[in-house]
Amino acid sequence: MTACVAVINAGSSSIKFAIYAAGAYRPPAYRGEIEGIGSAPRLTVSDSEGDMVEEEWWPSAGFDHRAATEKLLEIATGLLGGRPVAAVGHRVVHGGTDFAAPVRIDAKVMAALEAISPLAPLHQPHNLAAIAAISEGAPHIPQVACFDTAFHRAQPDVAQLFALPRDLVDSGVRRYGFHGLSYEFVSTRLYELAPELADARVIVAHLGNGASLCAIRGGRSIATTMGFSAVDGLMMGTRCGSLDPGVLLYLMDRGLDARAIEELIYKKSGLLGVSGISSDMRTLQASDEPDARQAIRLFVYRIVREIGSLSAALGGLDALVFTGGIGANDPEIREAVIAGSHWLGIEFDRERNRAGDRLVSRWQSEVRVWVIPTDEERMIAQHTTDVLKLH
């Protein structure tokens, strides 16, 4: 009986999952999500054809990430009908300075990951809760941690440093970068589509509710917009992006404590804060309110500025790739970003962009522009298979 590899991607209020036949990564046998954890938990599961095969709701009381993972184990067991699960791979947001590659989870690794939870307090505990739930409910199944920070550990030292006293840097206050699993998948897929770009200077724009850019050459991260935390860099759905530290000092002097500032910069800013309407780009694009239009302009402006910065870090640019929920699905935002970056030598093809083609620049363009949907779960499944040698 063919074994399966399960993937769990735990976010702050949701858990995405996918189940793959071991060694076969596209499409997954099942893919689904429990969303609304803490408010109105809802499960949806679709099969390899994209047809929904399961839908369920639960009361919010007591339904945390651990309970959600336990429920996933129960549901997956029923869906697989006796097929064994060979391993579970997890997206873990932060690997700190010690984890530069996926690793099999044991008690020592778990303790190390718990110790660095303060580096990602809004994400890491949820990742670890899912791991702990599986360790208790199915201790015989090996688990692998795949880190969002690991891809960026290859950056030059100068790209990882803040201009702070050495003792702070040595204690872990440095630029880490995130969305690494997405960047790894997209860059790999780009080289499959265009092998001539294998050593090219590439910027990938991961644009969604969380957003960042990454400069890549030869499959290695050179620089990225997110830094110590996932609130840095670009403006996002509810996160402010880069902010003068003096603003935080000002807010502290006004009486805001650390938790209030955290709530402000992570959950009340970005598209939501500027527009006063929504964090959803689709809602803002449908609105005639001036603040909604300004929020969109600021979102694009910050992306264009950072594309210029990362192009400098690369010493030029050969390809720009859009991914993420907005990047892969919103032709208007792509067009606006490309218009602001035309000086790089992009020959835009509006018809291809509107049609949703993979290549949205002209082939002869000095800088080619691609659209490549990301697949973090597939990347995690591949890493899990490799770590455990399940080939």
Q: Is 235 left (phi over 0), alpha (psi -120 to 50) or beta?
A: beta
- What stretches of 45-171 show up as alpha helix (H) in DSSP? 65-80, 107-115, 124-137, 157-160, 166-170
How is residue 217 written in tokens?
């050459």
User: Does residue 8 contact residue 15 with C-beta atoms inside 8 Å?
Assistant: yes
Residue 318's alpha-carbon distances to 133, 195, 219, 307, 311, in angstroms, are 45, 13, 14, 12, 9
Query: In terms of DSSP bridges, do strands 211-217 and 368-371 run parallel, antiparallel, or are they unpaired?
Result: unpaired
* HSE-up of residue 155 (Cα within 13 Å, Cβ side): 29
Count of positions (residues) in the chain: 391
| Long-range Cβ contacts of 325-329 (<8 Å, 24+ apart) | 325/207, 325/208, 325/209, 326/207, 326/208, 326/211, 326/281, 327/205, 327/206, 327/207, 327/208, 327/371, 328/371, 328/372, 328/373, 328/374
Angle at 268 between CA 264 and CA 270, to 5 degrees: 110
Out of 148, 232, 330, 349, the active site residue is: 148
User: Which residues, listed in sequence order, are joined to residue 5 by a DSSP beta bridge?
Assistant: 20, 87
64 in active site: no
Q: Which residues are catalytic?
A: 148
